[in-house]
Structure 1
Amino acid sequence: MLDRNTQIPLYEQLKNAIAQQINEGKLEPDQQIPSERELCEAYGVSRITVRQAIAAAANEGLLYRTQGKGTYVAGAKIEQKLSNINNFQQTLVKQGFMASTELYKTATVPNNLFYSRLLNVSMLEQITNIQLVGYGNNEPVVYYDSYFSMDIGESILSSAQKAAENKVPFSTLDLYVDTEVTPTHVEQTFESIVSDETLSGILKIAVGSPILLVTSIVYDNALPIEYKNAYYRGDKYKFFLTREYSALNLRPIAD
């Protein structure tokens, strides 16, 4: 039971109790946790407290919520190394996940000042939009939303359609083989967001679930060739980077 004589909030105690059951193996990866009603009865708390505890556990990556189904124990996360660029299939297969890709949506969209500047194309040129959903063990884990100039986009789209027909796991990184451009480097920003209804529908998660948004501009030397927003499920991915300390930045503490 929970301790009502401590300053630790009840929802925090309940979250810790759930974490302890996970650590002890009483709740296993991808196992559905008890319902809100069952947790209320088991711990003698309100439904609001249970919801706060579940939300806190989900934010810490202990649980994940599936839209229309329930809340489950999070399994092993996909580790994405930031110091180098690997394609989607390599990243998952090396870690024992089965990878697959859905060509979710394609479109030709009108250009605007934003895309014109990012991709260095004329305002008169239309933009190719390609959207992919990456799956790990048959579960959606990442949604890619990419934009290309029309000349590059046509080749990329053709390669994407072939890969999808052949059921080959891929991301846009794999689609440059038959183009006249070659990715040389990428500029990226990382931002923590929560899923809205659109993202939740695509990634099959509850509204408000944690998402890591990675925005990329891919270059062939000085030429920008792709603008991409990648939405990674917070309960399925973690990113890591090795950084070195510079001796110049290490100074003795003044007396």
Structure 2
Amino acid sequence: MLDRTDGRPLHQQVAESLRQEIVGHDLPPGSTLPSEAELCARFGVGRSVVRQAVAGLAADGLVIRRQGRPTVVAEPTEYRRLVQRATGLFDQFARRGHDIRTTVVGLEKATPPAPARASLGTSACLKLERIRLVDDEPLSYVRTWLPAARVSELDADDLVDASLHRLLSQRYGLRPVSGQRQVRAVAADERLAAALDIGVGTPLLLLEGETADQHGRPLEWFSAWHRADRVVFDIDVSETAETLTLDAASPREPAGAPTGRSRPTSEDLARARELVEELRTLLD
């Protein structure tokens, strides 16, 4: 049943409830939406309210309505991005044949937040804000901090429908090659909701990180908010020979154990052998 004290229209509440089930795969792609009668009984509303709600879901591409047949959940439109690559969204999606557009919201001198300042090693920065559209749909809002001294002639017009990384490489000889990334889930505030054409509170995937150039010098600090209903982050993982050897030779450490220790010394190995011999003596 719906919350009658909620200020939103009833059809919006019904649509939002069904939307959450679709996004959460409680109603997986290809499944049949409950009938109008079932939805009326479930939410305690009339058929006109249900029809409005389903029409809204169809307009958003979440369900497919066909004359004389049940309404089914549509296959989601997903755009996949490799997050461990230094290359940005523009180059990754362009290689797959997508139509990429970039709207520059602003480019100005500004003082960066503490994490960006620490990463870049300066407070004299340029703040660049952009909206990325893929196949005419806004997918991400990107805020990038750049050391002003290294890109002093950067112009906003050069970044419209263009790749920042490509421009840095071609014009300044600064090739992004490495960095660290973090991903977290956040809710869209009013500004992000308006920029990405979504509702306030809609889940977003926030990708943050720093990038260094080919000489290991800091080049950018960025925050990129992606629509969680459209963008999928892919991560390639593998275990190196060193990792496999360490895992086989040592027990799993408890949560919170210190990490980043150096390799064992010859004295450590000698002491370990002594302990093994003592243990064998006790067992004998």
TM interval, short-chain normalised: 0.5 to 0.7
5+ long unaligned stretches in structure 1: 1-10, 28-33, 49-64
Aligned position for 2:205: 212
Sequence identity percentage: 15
Query: 1:105 maps to which residue?
Result: 106
2:91 alignment partner, SS class: helix
User: Which residue identity does 1:19 align to in structure 2?
Assistant: L
Q: Is the 8 A contact 1:78 1:95 kept in 2?
A: no
**When the two structures are superposed, what TM-score results if normalisation uses the length of structure 2?**
0.60
Give, as a single letter, the amino acid of the residue that structure 2 aligns with 1:140.
Answer: P
Unaligned runs of 5+ in 2: 1-16, 46-55, 63-74, 252-284
Does the residue aligned with 1:178 lie in a helix, a strand or coil?
Answer: helix
- Aligned-residue Cα RMSD (Å) equals 3.6
Residues 90-110 of structure 1 deviation map (CA, whole Å, 9 limit, x = unaligned)? 322344432111112122214
Which residue does 2:238 correspond to in 1? Answer: 244
Instruction: Tell me which residue corresponds to 2:216.
Output: 222
Contact 2:203 2:228 in 1 (8 A): yes
CA distance in structure 1 between the aligned counterparts of 2:174 and 2:183, rounded to whole angstroms: 25
- Is residue 191 from structure 1 mapped to residue 192 from structure 2 by the alignment? no
Give the aligned residue type for 2:30.
Answer: N
Q: Structure 2 vs 1, CA of residues 139 and 113 (structure 1 numbering), >3 Å: closer, same or farther?
A: closer
Query: Counterpart of 1:53?
Result: none
1:88 aligns with 2:85: no
- 1:173 matches 2:200: no
How much has 1:236 moved relative to structure 2?
Answer: 1.1
Q: 1:19 aligns with which of 27, 39, 44?
A: 27
AA at the equivalent of 2:39:
A
CA contact (8 A) 2:186 2:203 kept: yes
Deviations 1:6-55 (A, max 9, x none): xxxxx79x9379825x415x78xxxxxx9xxx96873412379xxxxxxx
Alignment length (residue pairs): 204
Shift of 1:203: 0.9
The TM-score normalised by the length of structure 1 is 0.66
Partner of 2:262: none
In the TM superposition, what whole-angstrom CA distance separates every residue of 1:83-136 from its partner, at most 9, and x where no partner exists? 433343332234443211111212221467554422112x5xx32111111101
Distance 1:114 1:23, change over 3 A: closer
5 Å-filtered alignment, 1:59-78, equals 71-73=60-62, 75-78=76-79
CA contact under 8 A between 1:40 and 1:47: conserved in structure 2?
no
| Separation (CA, whole Å) in 2 of partners of 1:113 and 1:143 | 21
Corresponding letter in the other structure for 2:21: K
Contact 1:40 1:46 in 2 (8 A): no
